[in-house]
Amino acid sequence: MKRVAIFLSGGGSNMVALLDDMARSGHAGMPCVVLANSADAGGLERARERGVPTVAVDHRPFKGDRTAFEAAISAALEPYAPDMICLAGFMRVLTGGFIEQWTGRMINIHPSLLPKYKGLHTHARALEAGDSKHGCSVHEVTAALDDGPILGQAEVPVLAGDTPETLAARVLVQEHRLYPTVLRRFAAGDRTPVMLQS
Ligand code: GAR
């Protein structure tokens, strides 16, 4: 079994989708800890309700010292001995030093069809560009932001009258399909990209 740590910053709907799938049969992964960069992250309570240990490592006292923040993360993770990390709405940028320790063992979900729209405000940017399709990607984490080998993508149509919020909601439904599908394969050693149609 691969011990999976999940990092989040917010409500954790992707984390819940991952936990629910790991609870189903035939999964090569099992959750070992959910980590947030704030004790207020709603996802922590949802993880606890599901019997998964949680830790909060607040980034604020580190005042921008990312290396010290990451050292605290590594120390907090150690008792749980994760084999891999899933970033699931973790809104802190990690340094190359931390990422290197987890090369090939850390994956992320991003709300765009990468390589389009790395970074923030992906839904607004897709609308501004007049794109007819949008979606989400799961990729291996490498030192460059929102880069790294694509493990899977799911597309959604952009509809007339969409706002960033309506588009985000349509993409999120697909995130909840895509991320568990990719993790199930990845934990079993399969890195072949999976492309989902909505
Ligand atoms: C998701 O849409 C995820 O793709 C995005 O944050 C949201 C988290 O929602 N991630 C990023 O933007 C990473 N740069 P959740 O907490 O409900 O899973």
Average pLDDT over residues 26-33: 98
Average pLDDT over residues 102-110: 98
Question: Is position 110 annotated as part of the catalytic site?
Answer: yes
pLDDT at 194 over 90: yes
Please name each of the domains of the chain with its CATH number: 1-102 (3.40.50.170), 109-198 (3.40.50.170)
Cβ pair 19, 53 in contact under 8 A: no
Ligand 1 and 172: CB distance under 6 A: yes
98 — pLDDT class (breaks 50, 70, 90): very high
Question: What gap in Å lies between CA 119 and CA 187, rounded to an integer?
Answer: 26
Average pLDDT over residues 25-47: 98
pLDDT at 52 over 80: yes
Give residue 30's pLDDT. Answer: 98
Give residue 16's pLDDT. Answer: 98
Residue 179 CA, ligand 1 centroid: distance in Å: 11
Average pLDDT over residues 52-68: 97
What is the side-by-side order of every strand in the sheet holding 133-140? 54-56, 29-36, 2-8, 84-87, 106-110, 133-140, 150-157, 194-196
Q: What is the pLDDT of residues 75-94, one digit of tens each?
A: 999 999 999 999 999 999 99
Mean per-residue pLDDT of the chain: 97
- What ligand 1 atom has the least distance to the C-alpha of 43? 16
Question: What gap in Å lies between CA 140 and CA 75, rounded to an integer?
Answer: 23
Give residue 64's pLDDT. Answer: 95
Ligand 1 and 153: CB distance under 6 A: no
Give residue 2's pLDDT. Answer: 98
CA neighbor of 194 nearest in space, from 139, 148, 143: 139
Average pLDDT over residues 64-68: 97
Residue 110 CA, ligand 1 centroid: distance in Å: 7
- pLDDT > 70 fraction of the chain, expressed in percent and rounded: 100
Give residue 184's pLDDT. Answer: 98
Q: What is the pLDDT of residues 133-188, one digit of tens each?
A: 999 999 999 999 999 999 999 999 999 999 999 999 999 999 999 999 999 999 99
Give residue 198's pLDDT. Answer: 76
Question: Which residue type, as a one-letter code, is found at position 57?
Answer: V
Ligand 1 and 13: CB distance under 6 A: yes
Nearest alpha carbon, ligand 1 atom 5: 89
Long-range CB contacts (< 8 A, 24+ apart) of 179-182? 179/14, 179/17, 179/18, 179/86, 179/88, 179/109, 179/138, 180/17, 180/18, 180/20, 180/21, 181/152, 182/107, 182/138, 182/151, 182/152
If one counts every other C-beta atom within 10 angstroms of the C-beta of residue 46, the result is 19
Give residue 108's pLDDT. Answer: 98
Structure tokens at 99: 């990422």
Ligand 1 and 170: CB distance under 6 A: no
- pTM, two decimals, is 0.98
Out of 110, 134, 139, 176, pick the active-site residue: 110
